[in-house]
Amino acid sequence: MPIYNAPTKDAQFILHEMLRISETDVPGYAELDPEFTGAVLEEAGKIASNVLHPLNAVGDTEGCRLENGVVYTPTGFKDAFEQVKAGGWPGLDMPEEYGGQNMPYVIGTAVGEMFSASNQAFTMYQGLTHGAASAILAHGTEEQKETYLPKMVSCEWTGTMNLTEPHCGTDLGLMRTKAEPQADGSYKITGQKIFISSGDHDMADNIVHLVLAKIVGGPEGIKGVSLFIVPKFMVNEDGSPGARNAVSVGKIEEKMGIHGNSTCVMNYDGATGWLLGEEHKGMRAMFTMMNEARLGVGMQGLAQADAAYQNALEYAKDRLQGRDVTGVKNPDGPADPLIVHPDIRRNLMDQKSFTEGARAFILWGATMIDRAHRAGDKDADGLVSLLTPVIKGFLTDQGYDMTVQAQQVYGGHGYIEEWGMSQYTRDARIAMIYEGANGVQALDLVGRKLAQDGGKHVMAFFEMVKTFCKDSAGQDEAYDKAFIEPLKAASKDLQAAGMYFMQQGMKNPNNALSGSYDFMHMFGHVCLGLMWARMARTAQAALDAGASDRAFYETKIATGRYYMARRLPATAMHLARIQSGADTVMALEAANF
Amino acid sequence: MPIYNAPTKDAQFILHEMLRISETDVPGYAELDPEFTGAVLEEAGKIASNVLHPLNAVGDTEGCRLENGVVYTPTGFKDAFEQVKAGGWPGLDMPEEYGGQNMPYVIGTAVGEMFSASNQAFTMYQGLTHGAASAILAHGTEEQKETYLPKMVSCEWTGTMNLTEPHCGTDLGLMRTKAEPQADGSYKITGQKIFISSGDHDMADNIVHLVLAKIVGGPEGIKGVSLFIVPKFMVNEDGSPGARNAVSVGKIEEKMGIHGNSTCVMNYDGATGWLLGEEHKGMRAMFTMMNEARLGVGMQGLAQADAAYQNALEYAKDRLQGRDVTGVKNPDGPADPLIVHPDIRRNLMDQKSFTEGARAFILWGATMIDRAHRAGDKDADGLVSLLTPVIKGFLTDQGYDMTVQAQQVYGGHGYIEEWGMSQYTRDARIAMIYEGANGVQALDLVGRKLAQDGGKHVMAFFEMVKTFCKDSAGQDEAYDKAFIEPLKAASKDLQAAGMYFMQQGMKNPNNALSGSYDFMHMFGHVCLGLMWARMARTAQAALDAGASDRAFYETKIATGRYYMARRLPATAMHLARIQSGADTVMALEAANF
């Protein structure tokens, strides 16, 4: 049985020592002092470890089942959902007027990591609801907000997002689901949607489907797509669920992982829906939530990696196998623990340095979202918009790789389902795919975000790195050598790649697009390098100030040194690949593959 | 439903154009002309595509079941096994005197790839038998050989290898299974073994377990381990299976993949066994087969990667999504096929260049094994011994990554079991673990193989690369630039890493061991770089000679150029990691992780 311990201490270090959130001028941040966030995170951690985590394997083993049109979640999910609702967790960062607690997004993110890490499939029921509620909050009429938001903020009703159809995934212009206007202002929605997470289940009184569809007679392609609210049960005058709408579950998909979440084929057979936002502006309404949703998925990459790491670490300390080549470490035992072996450490340090770096990156990104939304800071909005594909693509790719590495520590036991390590990899795998497959993230980064607003945001990023280096260098030679120099080198690689794209992409866009995936990864490494340089500086300052918990800060610095020395050199490889251009990538005719 | 097409053409190119096997002086190779091997491979390909491949998903979905002590394989396995036996495939490279066809190992390997790619779980029943039979062939008495080999070569009886115990995996010295000598020369074997592939099933009349155990009163640790033959049914005087031996299945493990193979917990309760080879020399007997077995696992990495790639390619050609940014390619359709997109090509070219390079590496490695065994060539034996951990570790790591990339091409459909792409990753995952986890391969490479015979074999490897470069350079500028220069650079990186290990490993072995995993991967890249340089030279020669199938050879060269430009630069990253030394890897106390 795997373990899970919420990373409250590490989150607190990032929030208060590195980011100093309560000292920043973002509205709502002043209240976020260490005591307050510590109390929130500790409570969240208890729910994660004691309620959600024990159901993680149950969800994986049982999965969801469809019987006579009704979807049943795994044993225990319903009770746990009641507990999460009772704690007010779903509305943590939702407006007070709809029953939420109005906390900043950064707190929702820190809590979200714990919930996801302890049970991703379960937490998705709440996560999708959050996304759908945010869309209604941003684009709904007052009536729509009053009808749906109080129920959704409490998770009394849950939500879904319906985009994909069998023949249409990334390219939503191919969509066939149609919406026929009715005399009463509603629409009849007809079509089939697939891969609908939390599509149906037995934990809520109603399910609010947000459905992309084309209004009959509207423009062709993506410009004719609108967004609709289609409740499972029609809503009565008094706000209670009424008659069943014409939406049903076609089947539950058999997936590689996240078995505890009901991923459904949804059939809309003239279901009644109401326009959300403007006609033919469905994509815009969807994309409003994109930065948050994608940051949330990047967070899942981190979450699964951390959960897997915690177990790999315990196993490496417990399992006795072989002897330390430099001298026996456990003379009274039949062998030394795995953790004495350099290659096991290399593996664990990869995981640890990724996980802590990613946590800093995610929480920092969440503060940028808060700054953009709460303080109306356009620069923060531009920066987080630039980095969103990096957060989503890099952290889910690397997060997945780390779950695979964690599994490897277990040897043969890692392959046996009973030990739980397989589930971490199988669950983590989806995050590389949904909310825009990672190749699409890379395309978004290189094809759109780099040049956005005349390249202003990427220049601001480089300026931020430069300023940090200037401010931090020259005080401690060891720090400069371990952190500033590698960060500068990696940042230089990234700039060289950006320059290559500008120069060569003009001649042929394929020169840029062939390197997009490598660019996304090198960008991620530079971001984590920056986070580590910041964390190490913070930790050193705490040590210099005579902090009592020296081991914590020294470990932080040592882990950062590992990342800079062992992970950051990847940027040069990515640059070499990028600079080799499109020729070898595009050389073959499709028929000759 | 996935497809599988046997790579006969590519194997023939490698065997006859690149390796020119029938012209080499290895006994048995003269008969291996293109017509003959083509006929063998074509027949094997039919079995793979028509018999084994259709059962791949069946095996995954149904799995094996244990009922009243009897293990049942999935529907259709038994019939398919009969067909494989009837074709004489299990004895392809076994001695004629025991009913085999005495073909070289390289042919068994080429066939093995096809069988594994089409159904890894199924092929393991035969593969384990081959391994066990090889052990008996190498170490058995005449009586043992006569008793077991004819039945095992035909797969009338199958075999298993019993090493692991619950508390003892890599460190076999911790073994507890004991062997008590009996008056009649037999032993009573008592203990529990886990992760026993093909441990029990309903497809053979008897199962011959090879079991590692400690003879009571023998030396402590690994020096007291002996190998025993423990048949499921005692063998009667007339050679037929008789009374049941005291060995039983504890349970079938629930695994991440290879569900069609019965991975069993085996309980030995005073079972009757006979010593195979010498007392206390069990490890030596086991290790005799190690090069072959590990090469076979490396081949599984390639096999799953190729099977997954074939499907990803078809999907990329079929699935219409988005438009080519440089101009519409499918104007009559609603969108262009995925394969027009640069990042999809980057992904597919990674797979293709790995798969074909790995196939060349494996088949070349198999010719080295043949040269060692059939011609008694000690240098070939040393070289293949050096490269065995590279073949096993690098090809299974990369092969797994490629199945993940193939799955990614499918977007959401890649996560749905029905499409079959999840199975390729789940099945491929085990190859990184069994037959020595890949971290142990890296340890073997750096800790043992590099320095073996005074470093003779690694020097021979570098000499081989150097000679190849000298012989090939200077005739074609484009070839030199695309192939020779990157190969030289990568080889230089590898040498620098070796030098670092020598210099720094003396001071502290952890300096070498901390870099072992990176070294294994950079070594693999250099090997595939060498293979690609050889294949490209071969292909160019064919083009120069006016070969009619120009597209095949041009594609080969273009794919090689991709590998050299896009994959080989990884060596510099691995070198940088290695040269950062052990400090950051070993810095933390175990308690501070």
Return the residue of A nearest to B578 by Cα.
Answer: A566
CB pair distance less than 8 Å for B566 and A555: no
- For tokens 């070969």, name the residue: B547
Q: Over the range A550-578, which residues count as b (16 or more CB within 10 Å of their CB) and which as e?
A: eebbbbbbbbbbbbbbbbbbbbbbbbbbb
Active-site pick, B143, B146, B435, B554? B435
Which pLDDT score is estimated for A284?
Answer: 86
In degrees, rounded to 5, the angle at the alpha carbon of residue B214 between the alpha carbons of residues B213 and B219 is 150
Active site residue A42: no
B534: tokens are: 């050889």
Task: Give ipTM to 2 decimals.
Answer: 0.97
Min Cα distance B185 → chain A (Å) is 31
Q: Structural domain of residue B418, as residue ranges? A: 289-436
The answer to whether residue B447 is domain-embedded is no
In contact, B456 and B382? CB cutoff 8 Å:
yes
Residues of B in contact with A168 (CB under 8 A): 321
CB pair distance less than 8 Å for B342 and A408: no
Angle of helix A570-579 relative to helix B570-579, nearest 10 degrees, comes to: 160
Q: Tell which of B262, B280, B298 closes a domain.
A: B280
Q: Tell which of A226, A251, A280 closes a domain.
A: A280
Q: How far apart are CA B493 and CA B573, in angstroms?
A: 9
The answer to whether residue A151 is domain-embedded is no
Residues of B in contact with A415 (CB under 8 A): 255-257, 429-430, 433
Out of B400, B415, B430, whose CB is closest to A430? Answer: B415
Tens-place pLDDT, residues B493-526: 999 999 999 999 888 999 999 999 999 999 999 9
CB pair distance less than 8 Å for B339 and A590: yes
In a 10 Å sphere around its CB, with 0-12 CB exposed, 13-18 middle and 19+ buried, how is residue A12 labelled?
A: middle
Would you write out chain B's pLDDT as a tens digit for each of its 593 residues? 899 999 999 999 999 999 999 999 999 999 999 999 999 999 999 999 999 999 999 999 999 999 999 999 999 999 999 999 999 999 999 999 999 999 999 999 999 999 999 999 999 999 999 999 999 999 999 999 999 999 999 999 999 999 999 999 989 999 999 999 999 999 999 999 999 999 999 999 999 999 999 999 999 999 999 999 999 999 999 999 999 999 999 999 999 999 999 999 999 999 999 999 999 999 988 887 777 889 999 999 999 999 999 999 999 999 999 999 999 999 999 999 999 999 999 999 999 999 999 999 999 999 999 999 999 999 999 999 999 999 999 999 999 999 999 999 999 999 999 999 999 999 999 999 999 999 999 999 999 999 999 999 999 999 999 999 999 999 999 999 999 999 999 999 999 999 999 999 888 999 999 999 999 999 999 999 999 999 999 999 999 999 999 999 999 999 999 999 999 999 999 999 999 999 999 999 999 99
Choose the mutation target among B214, B251, B254, B256 for the interface with A, i.e. most A CBs under 10 Å: B256
Residues of A in contact with B170 (CB under 8 A): 321-322, 411
CB pair distance less than 8 Å for B593 and A352: yes
Residue A297 and residue A272 share a domain: no
The answer to whether residue B2 is domain-embedded is no
What CATH number is associated with residue A424?
Answer: 1.20.140.10
Residue B503 and residue B579 share a domain: yes
Return the residue of A nearest to B257 by Cα.
Answer: A415
Q: How far apart are CA B523 and CA B574, in angstroms?
A: 10
What CATH number is associated with residue A20?
Answer: 1.10.540.10
Choose the mutation target among A222, A256, A426 for the interface with B, i.e. most B CBs under 10 Å: A256
In contact, B520 and B394? CB cutoff 8 Å:
yes
The answer to whether residue B468 is domain-embedded is yes
Residues of B in contact with A342 (CB under 8 A): 510, 513-514, 516, 582, 585-586
In contact, B407 and B305? CB cutoff 8 Å:
no
In contact, A71 and A200? CB cutoff 8 Å:
yes
Return the residue of B nearest to A344 by Cα.
Answer: B439
Residues of B in contact with A416 (CB under 8 A): 253-256
The answer to whether residue A149 is domain-embedded is no
CB pair distance less than 8 Å for B416 and A559: no
Residue B305 and residue B424 share a domain: yes
Residues of B in contact with A312 (CB under 8 A): none
The candidate with the shortest Cα–Cα distance to B564, out of B535, B533, B539, is B533
CB pair distance less than 8 Å for A257 and B415: yes
The domain total for chain A is: 4
CB pair distance less than 8 Å for A585 and B339: no
Residue A248 and residue A162 share a domain: yes
3-state secondary structure at position A214: strand
The answer to whether residue A591 is domain-embedded is no
Return the residue of B nearest to A400 by Cα.
Answer: B404
Tens-place pLDDT, residues A321-357: 999 999 999 999 999 999 999 999 999 999 999 999 9
What CATH number is associated with residue B178?
Answer: 2.40.110.20
Backbone phi, psi, residue B130, to 5°: -60, -45
Which pLDDT score is estimated for A1?
Answer: 86
Cα A525 to the center of its chain, rounded Å: 17
Min Cα distance B27 → chain A (Å) is 36
The strand pair at A206-215 and A157-162 is best described as parallel
DSSP string, A446-503: IIIITTGGGGHHHHHHHHHHHHHHHHHTTS-HHHIIIIIHHHHHHHHHHHHHHHHHHH
Active-site pick, A113, A165, A356, A435? A435
Residue A308 and residue A256 share a domain: no
Residue B238 and residue B221 share a domain: yes
CB pair distance less than 8 Å for B508 and A587: no
Return the residue of B nearest to A571 by Cα.
Answer: B573
Residue A392 and residue A490 share a domain: no
Residue B20 and residue B63 share a domain: yes
Out of A168, A412, A443, whose CB is closest to B343? Answer: A443
Q: How far apart are the first and last CA of chain A?
A: 45
Q: What are the counts of helices (DSSP H) followed by strands (DSSP E) for chain A?
A: 21, 11
Backbone phi, psi, residue A359, to 5°: -65, -45
Backbone phi, psi, residue A337, to 5°: -70, 150
Residue A39 and residue A77 share a domain: yes
CB pair distance less than 8 Å for B418 and A334: no
CB pair distance less than 8 Å for A429 and B404: yes
Residue A112 and residue A172 share a domain: no
CB pair distance less than 8 Å for B348 and A593: yes
Q: How far apart are CA A116 and CA A301, in angstroms?
A: 9
Out of B171, B415, B417, whose CB is closest to A335? Answer: B171
Which pLDDT score is estimated for A518?
Answer: 98
Residue A432 and residue A307 share a domain: yes
Min Cα distance A346 → chain B (Å) is 6
The answer to whether residue A527 is domain-embedded is yes
Out of A342, A407, A418, whose CB is closest to B254? Answer: A418
CA-to-CA dists, residue A485 to A327, A472, A481, A561, B21, angstroms? 35, 11, 5, 12, 52
Residue A242 and residue A170 share a domain: yes
Would you write out chain A's pLDDT as a tens digit for each of its 593 residues? 899 999 999 999 999 999 999 999 999 999 999 999 999 999 999 999 999 999 999 999 999 999 999 999 999 999 999 999 999 999 999 999 999 999 999 999 999 999 999 999 999 999 999 999 999 999 999 999 999 999 999 999 999 999 999 999 989 999 999 999 999 999 999 999 999 999 999 999 999 999 999 999 999 999 999 999 999 999 999 999 999 999 999 999 999 999 999 999 999 999 999 999 999 999 988 887 777 889 999 999 999 999 999 999 999 999 999 999 999 999 999 999 999 999 999 999 999 999 999 999 999 999 999 999 999 999 999 999 999 999 999 999 999 999 999 999 999 999 999 999 999 999 999 999 999 999 999 999 999 999 999 999 999 999 999 999 999 999 999 999 999 999 999 999 999 999 999 999 888 999 999 999 999 999 999 999 999 999 999 999 999 999 999 999 999 999 999 999 999 999 999 999 999 999 999 999 999 99
Q: Tell which of A280, A301, A332 closes a domain.
A: A280
The answer to whether residue A592 is domain-embedded is no
In contact, A62 and A122? CB cutoff 8 Å:
no
